[in-house]
A and B are shown apart, each in its own frame.
Chain A
Amino acid sequence: MDNPIKVKIESNADLLLLRPLDVFVRQLVQQIPAFADHPSEVDGIELAFNEAYTNVSRHAYKGRDTKGPISIGILIHLDRIEICLEDYGISFDPAQAKTPNLDEPREGGLGVWFIKKFMDQAIYNSSDGKNVLLMMKRFPKS
């Protein structure tokens, strides 16, 4: 039976915590045997988490000196990892995150695209003032 390993981190979505949390996620994924020979997949998960956290800090809590709360939940199942970010800031319309026109170099707007590109699933929901992004990555087959 799948009894996932659970991690929960509660903090304010300050950019000060971006790097320590990125490193934590990276090292956690590196501990999963299935990712041992897949460094680019580890890079991808770290990047997806980084982009998701940065979006909450920069956009959901835009203009706030003291950033609002963020809850980070990580579940390590037998065959996949799930990373869930919850915040209470400005919600985001996923419909606006269109595929970027890569023939025009962009200074922004690639974060959500990276998340979709590097994770197997990314679902965003917003209701009752709470925004939830659930990202999932299946373990690579060796």
Chain B
Amino acid sequence: MEIEKKDGITIITTDERLDAVVAPKLKDTVKKIAEETATKLIIDLEKTKFIDSSGCGALVASLRTLIKNQGDMKIARPSPQAQTLFQLTRLHRVFEIYEDMDQAIKSFS
């Protein structure tokens, strides 16, 4: 998992797998980032080829944490497998999802 800040937006790039092994780490990381009010966060899933229910749950928890602190979260570049799960669970209605990183960044302006 990599974290960088660009033009006031925090970008978390998740690893190849977003599963039960790393889900708690993602939640903890977002919790710390969200301590700052009105955090703008993008979760970049470009490298993530596999996501499971724990990964989906961590994304839901992250969004909730951010909203609680007046922040917001966007998701960028999900794999076909992630898109399938988002559609199936209707999370595509909950998350703002962008196929392009520039669009995700611009969405905050």
**Secondary structure call for the A interface:** helix
Docked complex: B46-94 residues within 8 A CB-CB of A: 50, 52-54, 56-58, 60-61, 63-64, 80-81, 84-85, 88-91, 94
Would you call A50 and B52 a contact (CB within 8 A)? yes
Closest CB in chain B relative to A28 CB, distance in Å: 16
Would you call A50 and B19 a contact (CB within 8 A)? yes
A22 interface residue per 8 A CB criterion: yes
Contact with B along A18-40 (1 / 0, CB 8 A): 11001000000000000000001
Q: How many residues of A contact B (CB 8 A)?
A: 25
B17 interface residue per 8 A CB criterion: yes
Docked complex: A73-102 residues within 8 A CB-CB of B: 100, 102
Which one of A50, A57, A111 has the greatest number of beta carbons of chain B within 10 Å? Answer: A50
Would you call A105 and B91 a contact (CB within 8 A)? yes
Give the chain A neighbours of B85 by CB distance below 8 A: 47, 114
Give the chain A neighbours of B64 by CB distance below 8 A: 107
User: Can you spell out 16 A-B residue pairs with CB atoms less than 8 angstroms apart?
Assistant: A22-B19, A40-B80, A47-B52, A50-B50, A51-B53, A54-B19, A54-B20, A105-B91, A106-B57, A106-B60, A107-B58, A107-B60, A108-B57, A110-B89, A111-B54, A117-B88
By a beta-carbon cutoff of 8 Å, the part of chain A in contact with chain B is 15, 18-19, 22, 40, 43, 46-47, 50-51, 54, 57-58, 100, 102-103, 105-111, 114, 117
Q: Which 5 A-B pairs have the closest CB atoms?
A: A110-B53, A107-B57, A102-B90, A111-B53, A54-B20
